[in-house]
Amino acid sequence: MASIQVKRLAPALGAEVGGIDLSRPLPAEIFAEIRKAWLDHLVLRFRGQTLSDPQLMAFSQLFGELDPPGPNPYGKPFLPEHPEMNVISNIKVEGAPIGGLGDGEAIWHADMTYVDSPPMAAILHALEVPPSGGDTYWANMYSAYQKLPANLKKRIEGRKAVHDATYNSAGAMRKGYQEVTDPRKAPGAQHALIRTHPETGRPCLFLGRRRNSYIVGMELDESEALLDQLWAHATQAEFTFRQQWRVGDVLIWDNRCTLHRRDSFDPSARRLMHRTQIKADRPHA
């Protein structure tokens, strides 16, 4: 393998990496190029991959230690033989879901920011895709911070927000949680709204998810209004990349400086993705 080919996918973020078979061991110098491209482009897509679960885990582990999925609504792993992996799917077998998030929209979020040290990366491998719908979008939070109006930057400097753990991005309550009616009482970690990326040193917005978010120390009304402004800004189309899935796609994203969301799709179609995520490599800052 001589070198990888990296092609930008959208002005905001995202690149496609060609010339790689991820099922085979990657030479260290090739992986170093992939890792650099990932830090530069935030989301990388590899097309035409056929990976077994152990192969997906082996590729994922080049980035760091695997981080098991957070609690799902059913309280047990979808892949008992690989509990460190997750399944995203609407497929049911004998009435029981084989994966999470169903066929509805999954709202904008970063993964598991309700814990003190959220995963630094996540990887999705598309095994079955619907004929249409189910597209996934990522947004670049470096750019969102850079282009944030000065008055908003000033209002959030030094501020933290609560990242609610109660609901997943499809709106389902995680097992073991209670309904939250007051965001000030939401269970979950607090993180600075402006984060310094631990590897690139660049500042970015760190919003987590909108539902039950709360800016610590503000009146609830003020926090709600400011969060609405921040979210409307951060999720503008100019900061995003849209992924239309093909079977065999593998996408890895930097969870420290991106948000993502997914479109709904026809409930009678099948969508199946296997997923890994990577632990934070150092304490969250």
6 token code pair: 């990296």
User: Which residues form the interface with ligand SIN (CB under 6 A)?
Assistant: 88, 101, 106, 136, 169, 260, 262, 273
Q: Judged by CB, which is closer to ligand SIN: 43, or 226? A: 43
Sheet containing strand 121-128, edge to edge, reads 5-8, 15-18, 43-46, 250-254, 121-128, 272-278, 86-89, 100-101
- Closest residue (Cβ) to ligand SIN? 136
Cβ of 84: how many Cβ atoms within 10 Å? 17
**Alpha carbons within 13 A on the beta-carbon side of 28:** 0
Least distance in angstroms from the C-beta of 64 to ligand SIN: 18
Q: How far apart are CA 269 and CA 103, in angstroms?
A: 9
Least distance in angstroms from the C-beta of 272 to ligand SIN: 10
Q: Which stretch of DSSP H or E encloses residue 260?
A: strand 258-262
Least distance in angstroms from the C-beta of 91 to ligand SIN: 13
Least distance in angstroms from the C-beta of 260 to ligand SIN: 6
Least distance in angstroms from the C-beta of 170 to ligand SIN: 9
Least distance in angstroms from the C-beta of 101 to ligand SIN: 6
Q: Judged by CB, which is closer to ligand SIN: 88, or 230? A: 88
First-residue to last-residue Cα distance in the chain? 36
Q: Judged by CB, which is closer to ligand SIN: 137, or 142? A: 137
Q: How far apart are CA 38 and CA 253, in angstroms?
A: 8
Q: Judged by CB, which is closer to ligand SIN: 41, or 275? A: 275
Per DSSP bridges, beta strands 43-46 and 258-262 are unpaired
Q: Judged by CB, which is closer to ligand SIN: 122, or 226? A: 122
Q: Which amino acid is at 86?
A: N
234 token code pair: 């951060």
Q: Judged by CB, which is closer to ligand SIN: 19, or 71? A: 71
Query: What are 250's strand-pairing partners?
Result: 46, 125
Cβ of 7: how many Cβ atoms within 10 Å? 11
Q: Judged by CB, which is closer to ligand SIN: 188, or 203? A: 188
236 token code pair: 């503008």
Least distance in angstroms from the C-beta of 4 to ligand SIN: 24
